Amino acid sequence: MDKQTQEWFEQLVELAVSAGADLAGAIAILIGGYIAAGWARKATRRALDRSGKLDETVKPFIANTIRYTILIFVLIAVLAQFGVQTASIIAALGTIGLAIGLALQGTLSNVAAGLMLLFLRPFRAGEYIDADGLGGTVAEIGLFATQMRTADGVFMHVPNSMLLNRSIKNYSRNPTRRVDVLVGVSYGDDIDKALEIASATLAEESRLLPDPAPQTMVMGLADSSVNVNLRGWVNASDYWPVLFDLNRRIKLRIEEAGLTIPFPQRDVHLIERRAE
């Protein structure tokens, strides 16, 4: 091996050793930073849980924000390990951010929507909502999407922008709800007796609140029945049990009194046409 070849070989070995050291350092920083970001997220969540001053909806959002912030600094440190000037990286972040923003408009809109949902508070974790057909109990509002659980236990991952741009019904926000039970009786039955039975059925239900007082009324004259409505207010947690019980009780009461809950019916008049 001549002298020039030996010098090239030594330079190549030196370069490989240097690059290997940089690579090993970068891998160490990346692994350590990833572990540290996860630890910081968990530690932040535990601290927020102990404080007891923040809403459950805000806690995961803050914890995830800290995790992603640490990961960004870890990425900058990895690039610096390879000799890339961090000052130039920071200076270029504005331009890169603009390019990324244009490329990921939908993703960034979800982040902005998540911030708006946390600020406006149309719902919180643990509340049941319906957003134009998207119904479920809110589990967590994340940076990009909201996690929900439907009434039958199905997991839903809904982008934040989709929720922000929809009309939201929150069934858990108010402490009380109104129960309405509609029952139809035949036109040939005694309507006053039907109202009396409805009032007695409401009086039997102890979970109804006294204020506003329960009411019964003739709600409408339908095609096949006279519709009687039973109305009362309950605590939100009692809504479904009371609704189901009132439906069962009013049916039994109507039948015991000899009144009829008619099926839909139609009178057909046949006109005989005389031969000319």
- Is the pLDDT score of 114 beyond 90? no
Instruction: State the amino acid at position 233 in one-letter form.
Output: W
Distance CA 251, CA 273 (A): 44
User: Is 8 part of any domain?
Assistant: yes
Is 265 in contact with 224 (CB distance < 8 Å)? Answer: yes
User: Is 275 part of any domain?
Assistant: no
Beta strands 134-141 and 168-170, pairing class? unpaired
What is the domain count for the chain?
Answer: 3
Q: Are 11 and 98 within one domain? A: yes
Distance CA 142, CA 55 (A): 14
Output the domain CATH number for residue 228. 3.30.70.100
**Candidate from 80-94, 149-163, 172-186, 225-239 with smallest mean pLDDT:** 80-94
Instruction: Choose among 254, 246, 252: nearest CA to 178.
Output: 246
User: Is 271 part of any domain?
Assistant: no
Q: Specify the pLDDT at position 217.
A: 94
- Is the pLDDT score of 9 beyond 60? no
User: Is 249 part of any domain?
Assistant: yes
Instruction: Choose among 83, 68, 72, 74: nearest CA to 29.
Output: 74
Q: Are 16 and 90 within one domain? A: yes
Q: Are 143 and 201 within one domain? A: no
From the CA atom positions of the chain, what is the Rg in Å? 34
Distance CA 91, CA 89 (A): 5
Burial annotation 220-240 (CB, 10 A radius, 16+ → b, else e): eeeeebbebbbbbbbeeebbe
Instruction: Choose among 66, 62, 41, 40: nearest CA to 53.
Output: 62
Q: Are 136 and 99 within one domain? A: no
203-241 pLDDT, tens digit each: 999 999 999 999 999 999 988 899 999 999 999 999 999
- Is the pLDDT score of 267 beyond 90? no
Higher pLDDT, 125 or 207: 207
Output the domain CATH number for residue 138. 2.30.30.60
- Is the pLDDT score of 174 beyond 70? yes
**How large is the average pLDDT for residues 134-138?**
92
User: Is 111 part of any domain?
Assistant: no
Higher pLDDT, 171 or 42: 171
Output the domain CATH number for residue 64. 1.10.287.1260
User: Is 244 part of any domain?
Assistant: yes
User: Helix axis angle, 191-204 relative to 239-256, nearest 10°?
Assistant: 140
Q: Give the residues across from 234 on adjacent strands.
A: 177
* Segments forming the whole domain that contains residue 34: 3-103
User: Is 127 part of any domain?
Assistant: yes
